[in-house]
Chains A and B, each alone.
Chain A
Amino acid sequence: MNFPAELKYTTNDEWIRVEGDSGVVGLTDYAQDQLSDIVYVEFSGAPGQQIAKGAGFASVESVKAAADVYMPVDGEILETNAQLPTQPESINSDPYGAAWLAKIKIRDATQLDGLMDAAAYEAFCQERQA
């Protein structure tokens, strides 16, 4: 299980990589492992949309479950990953790399302080595995 140190994490198992006032958002290694084989990705949010922290902007389906992906912080969607609908399995193979879900413009950077760092998120995942 991989928990990259440079990322921030949510309790809904999203990660965000902050780059200045924008960010890249995706699903964590733990999330893809729990979901098992991902077969479908659909975006409900589109570039230009303002989406509040905790609101859904995509849904992923695996062979056994369906899950929504939520915004880690308030922001505007700049881009969604056009590869994902045709290559949903890349979330399983490369959750922190090629399978990013959205690039966003962060509206309120102070919200990032409320997210977990890698160590806290790893502990949170272990707690749930117990």
Chain B
Amino acid sequence: MLKTIGVAEVSQLFAGIPAKARYPKLNLPEPLTEMEARGELESIAAANDSTYDLVSFLGAGAYSHYIPSGVDSILRRGEYYTAYTPYQPEISQGTLQAIFEYQSLIVALTGMEVSNASHYDGATALAEAVNMARVIQRGARKKVILSPGLHPQYRATVHTYEHGSDVQLLGEDLDLSAGPEALIELIDEDTSLVAVAYPDFFGRIYDYTALAAAAHAKGALLAVSVNPTALGLLRPPGEFGADIVTGEGQPLGIPLSFGGPYLGILATKQEYVRSLAGRLVGETLDNRGQRGYVLTLSTREQHIKREKASSNICTNQGLMMLAATVYTSLLGKQGLRQVAESCYHKAHYAAAQIGKLKGFSLAYGDTPFFHEFVVKAPLPAAELNRRLLERGIIGGYALGADYPGLEDCSLLAVTEVNSKEEIDFLVESLKEVSRG
């Protein structure tokens, strides 16, 4: 091989790498036996605190929910562990059917007509929605309105995607108390997409019907980033005029696991299917009339359409997609509603109790919310969390880092896993730690 490419020895292949970086000293410790290595890793892992050891009220885009044991036992089947792309339907029916079932569930949950096979996470899905809108409108419109109520990291991802593009991102500096009406005022003939969150980052639920109508009146599209758990209870975005629905699928049976891998939800209307980013599975009949599943409309994808494709992503989050499918199937429509109701009622109980505490208030107490709410405390959120941790409580998300001026505000999440005792313990602890 070296002769063929005209090189005398292997080291010449690395000539382009600076000599000092070629063989750096790695400074590794002495080798260990498996038993010793395991012991060492366990002691490192033991230094972590998790939701198993502490009471947690932290959400902000990733939520602690109960995962039925059936989810894991199905996920652990070796047949699903493949990284193989299911291009050849004759050997991938299991994977393809699982994706088809997932797509069907997402369509039912969101009120959309078609869902892709999933994306990396909710942030990616939103950024892909922005690109989709541009493809649908052939790049004729340059403005994208991002609600300040979208997750800050999702918005950052959109900025990363649009870095160097001619897309103008507006709306993020709007007042946080302003509802959808403020977004309506920004829509004009050059608006490609309006993107909002449902519930929003602060847990608030808005009716976006008028926003959808205003966007459509100007020829713009509406993208709604959802928490799928909330859709067990709330009207699906398809019913109030969403054109694209994105979201983070982690709440559907996927553990927190330090922030990933998660699951990006992306669904849209049938008329936009050719602009849909990502992989898509369809149901068909084979030459013997038997039902089968295949990757379909693949000509949308970048390995065929190159620079004209909506997306550079032609993969999906297979195992996480399967977890969400199994979780949602096990719970069923009623089960998902029960989880959502439990989250809603427990969060409202917590908010009511905390709102009564001296020095504490609910920042957006007048707006309906799902299972997350903003608490204004008599001390900085970072300090509050430090004191709560001493009592074994993971507090809320300190908002000051993303929203200057909200240093004394925490975003608290309550889900079905938080018992009444835990909530009462939180309230009691807040009372104690705020005394000084």
A65 at the B interface (CB under 8 A): yes
Contact of A40 among B138, B274, B304, B308 (CB under 8 A): B274
| CA distance in complex: A59, B299 (Å) | 11
Chain A, interface SS category? strand
* Shortest beta-carbon distance from A25 to chain B in Å: 21
B305 at the A interface (CB under 8 A): yes
* Shortest beta-carbon distance from B424 to chain A in Å: 60
Query: In the complex, are the beta carbons of A66 and B304 less than 8 A apart?
Result: yes
| CA distance in complex: A39, B304 (Å) | 15
A44 at the B interface (CB under 8 A): yes
| CA distance in complex: A64, B305 (Å) | 10
Bitwise interface map of B from 297 to 309 toward A, beta carbon under 8 Å scored 1, else 0: 0010000110010
A79 at the B interface (CB under 8 A): no
Bitwise interface map of A from 45 to 85 toward B, beta carbon under 8 Å scored 1, else 0: 00000000000000101111110000000000000000000
Bitwise interface map of B from 105 to 147 toward A, beta carbon under 8 Å scored 1, else 0: 0000000000000000000000000000000001000000000
Query: In the complex, are the beta carbons of B305 and A66 less than 8 A apart?
Result: yes
Number of A-B contacts (CB under 8 A): 17
Residues on A with C-beta less than 8 A from B304 are 64-66
Counting chain A CB atoms within 10 Å of each CB, the highest count among B138, B274, B299, B304 belongs to B299
Residues on A with C-beta less than 8 A from B299 are 39-40, 61-66
| CA distance in complex: A118, B308 (Å) | 31
302-341 of chain B: CB within 8 A of chain A: 304-305, 308
Known pairs A40-B299, A61-B299; A66 contacts B274 (CB<8 A): no
Bitwise interface map of B from 45 to 71 toward A, beta carbon under 8 Å scored 1, else 0: 000000000000000000000000000
Chain A residue nearest to B296 (CB atoms) is: A63
| CA distance in complex: A74, B304 (Å) | 28
Residues on B with C-beta less than 8 A from A66 are 299, 304-305, 308
Residues on A with C-beta less than 8 A from B308 are 59, 66
Counting chain B CB atoms within 10 Å of each CB, the highest count among A42, A61, A63, A64 belongs to A61
| CA distance in complex: A29, B274 (Å) | 26
| CA distance in complex: A61, B309 (Å) | 12
| CA distance in complex: A33, B305 (Å) | 19
Bitwise interface map of B from 16 to 38 toward A, beta carbon under 8 Å scored 1, else 0: 00000000000000000000000
A interface with B by C-beta (< 8 Å): 39-40, 42, 44, 59, 61-66
17 pairs of residues in contact across A and B, judged by CB atoms under 8 Å:
A39-B299, A40-B274, A40-B299, A42-B274, A44-B138, A59-B308, A61-B299, A62-B299, A63-B299, A64-B299, A64-B304, A65-B299, A65-B304, A66-B299, A66-B304, A66-B305, A66-B308
Taking A59-B308, A66-B305 as known contacts, 6 extra A-B pairs with beta carbons closer than 8 A to each other, sorted by chain A number, are A40-B299, A42-B274, A64-B304, A65-B299, A66-B299, A66-B304
